[in-house]
Chain A
């Protein structure tokens, strides 16, 4: 269906980030377990647990991805990044056994995005992480696709509950395709409708009025 509605800047593909994508900005705010490999003078106040003036070398911190990425250098280590537990071997085995049973929303919700971003830090386990992320996606994709193509006119919240953000976007795309097809089949594709934006604004106005 042709619409001129709002299309946000899409997230980057694979290891790329799109500078203006809100999704990517939220992804790069995810925190990674890290350790400082040198002293950061005068930034001690960021560490609530200590009252030192500096962040000491060897401090363990939960560091947002953007910062870990910005500070990370191969030659001169100032921080090292540890793998979050879902990407470690233990969990990789679980995912490998049956990826469909895992609640990726709880474990993620950016399981694929963050997994791809981790490849920026050269961990010796990178090939295994990449494999695990890819295989998990393949293992779950069929189910995501099936459910998005078969749930028509019903509450889908239970179906998307356990999906990662990427899977949710795919689910939505499938649903919108299904709905357009059903509309077309019933000869309603040419019905002119009020723009969804207009409808939503009106809804909001009504709820604003309610006490």
Chain B
């Protein structure tokens, strides 16, 4: 596959030296995909990566057009394109699903974001979430709320729609060794304790305890 993937691959337009090879880019996509699939909350957006993968796909499609029809190479390339497109679609679907599920909280987080901090939503996702909220509020109002007594005509979506459950358990593999990770007690007669996480070891833990390690890339959800 390397020849369709090769030639040009831009690792983002920040003009820094960290130019990524196509294989690295697909690796990044797979990491982001698994993390997003298994974490209970919406993770930071990687829209730049998504755009690169889209470019890569377009580029590969174009290369494929040049290959003679019926060539075995063509079907191998086609398959590779399909696989990458599946992972990218699945990644974006997971995000959209969480945006729909938690829209009031996602928007609230975006609102309280400090200027200059990275956004959890891509501009397109932000637009989608805003429309989803407006559409849903309009709907509730039109069907029922406006016919209710004056003091009951609003429902606070932020209180009504549940937040992501950060206490869910997740499986993870350690990429960078961690020391002194605090584990909260499960029952009244347990006490909190700390664990060290060795490289390549796998664990089942509460998401809350390791959430920062997911975003820093020190652990990978599996």
Interface residues of chain A, those whose CB is within 8 Å of chain B, are 2, 4, 7, 9-10, 12-13, 18-21
The residue in chain A whose Cβ has the minimal distance to the Cβ of B90 is A2
Is A2's CB under 8 angstroms from B161's CB? no
CA distance A9 to B161 in the complex (A): 8
Task: Provide 15 A-B residue pairs closer than 8 Å at the C-beta atoms, listed in order of the A residue.
Answer: A2-B37, A2-B90, A4-B93, A4-B97, A7-B101, A9-B161, A9-B162, A10-B162, A12-B162, A13-B165, A13-B167, A19-B160, A20-B160, A20-B161, A21-B162
In the assembled complex, B69 has its CB within 8 A of some CB on chain A: no
B-chain residues with CB within 8 Å of residue A19 when the two chains form the complex: 159-160
Q: Which of B52-105 contact A (CB under 8 A)?
A: 90, 93, 97, 101
Mostly, the A contact residues are loop
Most chain A beta carbons < 10 A, residue from B90, B97, B162, B165: B162
Assign chain B's interface to a size class: 10 to 19
The residue in chain B whose Cβ has the minimal distance to the Cβ of A131 is B188
Mostly, the B contact residues are helix
A-chain residues with CB within 8 Å of residue B165 when the two chains form the complex: 13
Q: B43 CB to closest chain A CB, in angstroms?
A: 17
A-chain residues with CB within 8 Å of residue B37 when the two chains form the complex: 2
CA distance A12 to B160 in the complex (A): 11
The residue in chain B whose Cβ has the minimal distance to the Cβ of A12 is B162
A-chain residues with CB within 8 Å of residue B90 when the two chains form the complex: 2
Is A2's CB under 8 angstroms from B93's CB? yes
Q: A34 CB to closest chain B CB, in angstroms?
A: 25
CA distance A19 to B97 in the complex (A): 20
B-chain residues with CB within 8 Å of residue A21 when the two chains form the complex: 162
CA distance A12 to B37 in the complex (A): 22
Q: B203 CB to closest chain A CB, in angstroms?
A: 20
The residue in chain B whose Cβ has the minimal distance to the Cβ of A11 is B162
CA distance A18 to B101 in the complex (A): 13
A-chain residues with CB within 8 Å of residue B159 when the two chains form the complex: 19
CA distance A20 to B167 in the complex (A): 20
The residue in chain A whose Cβ has the minimal distance to the Cβ of B155 is A19
Q: A26 CB to closest chain B CB, in angstroms?
A: 17
CA distance A21 to B162 in the complex (A): 9
Q: B215 CB to closest chain A CB, in angstroms?
A: 23
CA distance A34 to B11 in the complex (A): 67
B-chain residues with CB within 8 Å of residue A4 when the two chains form the complex: 93, 97
| In the A-B complex, the 7 residue pairs with the closest CB atoms | A19-B160, A18-B162, A20-B160, A2-B90, A9-B162, A19-B159, A20-B161
The residue in chain A whose Cβ has the minimal distance to the Cβ of B100 is A7
A-chain residues with CB within 8 Å of residue B93 when the two chains form the complex: 2, 4
The residue in chain B whose Cβ has the minimal distance to the Cβ of A18 is B162
Q: B101 CB to closest chain A CB, in angstroms?
A: 7
B-chain residues with CB within 8 Å of residue A13 when the two chains form the complex: 165, 167
